[in-house]
Amino acid sequence: MTGLEVSVNLTRAARWLALALLAPMTVALTPGAGHAADTPAIALSEATVGNVFTTGRTPEVDVTTTGDALAWTATDTAGTVVASGQQPVHAGRTALRLPLDRLGWFSVAVTASRSGTVLGTATTTLARLDPPGAAAPGGSPFGVSAHYSFPGVTADSIPLLAQAGLTNERDEMMWGSVERTKGQYDFPYDAYRDQLAGNGVAPLVILDYGNPNYDGGQAPTSAEGIAAFAKYADALVGHNGGKVAAYEIWNEWNIGFGGTPRTPESYFALQKAVYETVKADHPDVTLVAPTLAGTDMQWLEQWMKLGGLRYTDAVSLHPYMYPQAPEGLAPVLAQLQDLIKRYGGGASKPVWITEQGWPTGTNVTAGSENAQAADLVRSGLLAVAGGAARYFSYDFVDDGTDPGNLEHNFGLLHSPADPLGAYTPKPAYAAYAALTRQLSGATFGREEAVGAGVHDLVFARGNAQVRALWSPNPTSVTLHTGTKLVVTDLYGNARTYSPDGRGAITLALTGDPLYVTGPVTAVTAGGNSALAARPAFVGDPLAVNWTADNTDGRKPLALRLKLAGGTYALQVPAGQSRTLAISLPAPGGAGDRSLVGDVYSADERVGRLRADLTVRDALQLQAKHVMDGNGGQQLRLSVANVSASDHTLGALDWTLGPAGGTALQGVAVPSGGRQQVDIPLSAGTKTPYTAKLTVQGQPTLDISGTVMPVAAGSSTAVPRRTITVDGRLDDLSGLPAIRLPEDGTVQMSGYGGAADLSGSLWFTYDEQNLYVSADITDDVQSQPGTGSDIWQGDSLQFAVGSGAPGEQTAWSEIGAALTTSGPQLFRWVADGESSGAIPGAQVAITRDEATHRTTYELAVPWSHLQPIQPADRLISLSLLVNDNDGSGRRGWIEWGGGIGGAKDSSLFNPAELTG
């Protein structure tokens, strides 16, 4: 888990006490009811739980409507309409059958009409899967975390585990519900346990959380509490017998989940007691520890030094990576394996990843549903390749319907209350199901080096070779083979490809893994055919270039490309390359699209090409809260023309609270140009606004939000001052500092005062950069991490957003640390840009051990802090200093908020660029 995930787990931790006091519960099994109709005109309901179908059954949706006719479309994850149709309706109800000919996830939109007049449209999602294969010897490594033990959660979705081929499920049987009276045990969780078994799913049960009969309901640390917890564990294992084979001791002790004291020593005391007590009576049961939150290797190493490996059958952790790429999992697992061998006398021990998730929604750290699918599959592949014996995705079903709440959006299925329907799938469900089928019975062999960013994992499945190939940065590879290969996409659709005359098959790789079955002698970077899409705008045809390279060939090539329903031919002389410009129909709206086509030589399919693109509106409407040089505040509405054509505006209509008006009527905006209008703001309470832009031949653009005027004198001044980034704080004369802890808040237990952690901070700027300077006193310098993990050691983290606090839905969060590899700067959250390194940023950090002082100087270009511009003057800032004294992150001192806890821009501080 990165610093970004701390808030996720602390959110879950806030619920632990209530969960520990649950009354005994029963599990009701009811069919999926579908969603309520938005209007009486049309409502959809589910013909099967979650709209999940396996091949052999035609997908269908039940429709209730006041109309007499339906029109429907099914769209895949690439944004392509893959099927459509019309159907009459009699007596207000019908079963709408959807003849889909491919596997995967689909969004289905159904429009009802009467006598030709449209009454309304309803939408749902569905998945079409191959039947799950027979259980592999030793079982599948893949599973999910779920919440069937929680109050009000039914077991309706359990059959969807089996349909996805997920044979492992992680859940709780909490102490506070099992031992409600001292020394007496009840077992209220048998219903969901038996329902799992009936579907062929093996539970991993978490032994967790406090009991009000001991230690005040907190995590057990007294001798009495520890002994009682061990007895509860033993009683539960005995009651479950052979119906539960594996148990995990607590959940995320190291971040205080369940009121814990966090230390390896306190956890070890509990773990040892549980292991010795349970194993004495049940030697064959599997006990798993320490269920670490994140990737804090210092904590793990200290736990191992205490002897933690002797009292566990597998080592478990929760290596959350979002919003960074999942490829960070590989070095984490390698480091963990090294630690296990070092402290295990050279012996290895199974590793279980019992939580790792990728949230969707609108939260600043969430991703798209398509990205969740690819990230989950890449994580699962890397986990198996890194030696993980079990991999549990967190979690199975969304916990709610608020798109901005991270905890509501980790699921592979929508929540029971979702308007799309109870337990309807996200793309990740279909992709995870395809992964279980591809790796059923497979063992990992090796990873082959291909080229920068390309991952080529080789598995053996019986006598067959299966490769998983992907590249986060789109590229092409050549498969060298003498026979036909089966290439299966992320969602399970398989096609056969033949080698061309040179024994080569070209594959375009993206972040969506492809599975290749068959003998491959080598995989090399590059290919002899490629597809590239030019910038795309709503209303304009899609422009695509197909290039075929025959520069190393001795014979001419005659190729055909089947793309988007069309066929295109290209003749390429020997020793040359050719490019064909292709025009495709204009897309219906803005959004991400994928174009996938097959290349043919004669009648043989010899290559798979793909181009990903984002279709944008030609005009971009934006609202920003800005200041002028006199401290006056305005709502700035701007229209940018990002297309290659000039446009003339119809009108920009706006409202600001009760006021409103029209601006920019008939104004021309040339290609690459911008027009704007400033609306004065009055000091006071937050005020809602709307803006609507009309342009002939273009979609109407609407935006809305809330502007929060800043009270006079409440902003922190950020003076104009250029800093030479050299690690010497000699550019700050005359500038006031932010003092810590005086101007901030201490968020750590056992804080030892100024000598423990304190310092001075400065924000300055010029037209090119935002600068951060800091002089930090810290008695112990400890930074074990690099890259996205620097938050776990001594470091700075700061956030910067546009406008006043709370107005932002996206912002940048950046950190800096003095690592064993030298000074590093890393961005976890980015507004419209990638996380990771920031082009053009500068960092210098020095440490003086004699005085225990660490100095930081950072420069971040405004060009990579969009949409902020220095002329806006008003920004929002927050900063914290992390502390690690050699045994894990102790906590932090923060100025502002919204970083170390919940990711919340309303906790930032307003700041004004002055000078």
The answer, yes or no, to whether residue 29 has pLDDT greater than 60, is no
In tens, the pLDDT along 588-609 reads 789 999 999 999 999 999 999 9
Q: Where are the alpha helices (DSSP H) in 282-388?
A: 297-306, 329-343, 369-385
pLDDT reading at 2 higher than 60: no
What is the reported pLDDT for 139?
73
Amino acid in position 688: P
- Residues whose CB is less than 8 angstroms from the CB of residue 911 and which lie 6 or more positions away in sequence, other chains included: 715, 716, 717, 718, 763, 874, 875, 876, 877
Q: First CA to last CA across the chain, in angstroms?
A: 40
Residue 697 confidence class, pLDDT cut points 50, 70, 90: confident
Residue 673 has pLDDT above 60, yes or no: yes
Task: Judge whether 811 and 827 are in contact, CB under 8 Å.
Answer: no
Two tokens, residue 793: 């050691």
Confidence of residue 685 (pLDDT cuts 50, 70, 90): confident
pLDDT of amino acid 137: 59
Q: In the block, which residue shows the tokens 């050699």?
A: 886
The pLDDT assigned to 38 comes to 46
Q: Give me the helices (H) in 445-575, please.
A: none
pLDDT, mean over the chain: 92
Lowest mean pLDDT among 110-124, 250-264, 314-328: 250-264
> How far is CA 650 from its chain centroid?
39
pLDDT at res. 8: 33
Whether pLDDT at 19 is above 60: no
Burial status of residue 330 (CB atoms within 10 A of its CB: 0-12, 13-18, 19 or more): middle
How confident is the model over 475-532, as pLDDT tens digits?
Answer: 999 999 999 999 999 999 999 999 998 899 999 999 999 999 999 999 999 999 999 9
Q: Match 């840009």 to its residue by tokens.
A: 833
Q: What is the pLDDT of residue 396?
A: 98
pLDDT of 357 > 60? The answer is yes
Range in 1-10, 500-509, 584-593, 681-690 with the lowest mean pLDDT: 1-10
Helices (H) and strands (E) in the chain, counts: 11, 55
Tokens 């004669």 correspond to: 602
Query: What are the CA-CA distances from residue 804 to residues 353, 718, 899 (Å)?
Result: 40, 14, 16
Whole-number percent of the chain with pLDDT over 90 = 87
What is the reported pLDDT for 888? 85
What's the pLDDT at 835? 87
32 pLDDT more than 60: no
Peptide bond into 839 cis (omega under 30): no
Q: What is the mean pLDDT of residues 261-273?
A: 95
Q: Which two tokens stand for residue 239?
A: 């009651």
Q: What is the pLDDT of residue 34?
A: 38
- Calpha distance 172→276 (Å, rounded): 21
Looking at residues 135-161, what average pLDDT do you find? 89
Helices 264-281, 297-306: crossing angle, 10 deg rounding: 50
Q: Per-residue pLDDT for 229 more than 70? A: yes
Of the candidates 759, 816, 822, 762, the one whose C-alpha atom is nearest the C-alpha of residue 793 is 816
Work out the pLDDT band at 27, boundaries 50, 70, 90.
very low
Contact of 33 with 45, CB cutoff 8 Å: yes
Mean pLDDT (whole number) for 401-426: 96
Task: Give me the count of residues in the chain.
Answer: 915
Query: Residue 138's pLDDT band (boundaries 50, 70, 90)?
Result: low
More confident residue, 152 or 12: 152
pLDDT tens profile 791-821: 999 999 999 999 999 999 899 999 999 999 9
> pLDDT at position 284, please?
97
* Residue 637 predicted with pLDDT over 90: yes
- Residues facing residue 265 across a β-bridge: none
Residue whose pair of structure tokens reads 């003998």 in the numeric block? 519
Is the pLDDT at 133 greater than 80? The verdict is no
> Region 837-862: what's the mean pLDDT?
97
Q: What pLDDT is attached to residue 134?
A: 65
- The share of the chain scoring above pLDDT 70, in percent, equals 95
The neighbour count for residue 901, using CB atoms within 10 Å, is 16
Average pLDDT over residues 346-354: 97
Three-state SS sequence of 489-500? CCCCCEEEECCC
Provide mean pLDDT across the span 162-170.
Answer: 96
Ranges 1-10, 150-159, 347-356: which has the least confidence: 1-10
Per-residue pLDDT, 256: 86
| Residue 88 clears pLDDT 90, i.e. is over it | yes
Over range 761-785, report the average pLDDT. 97
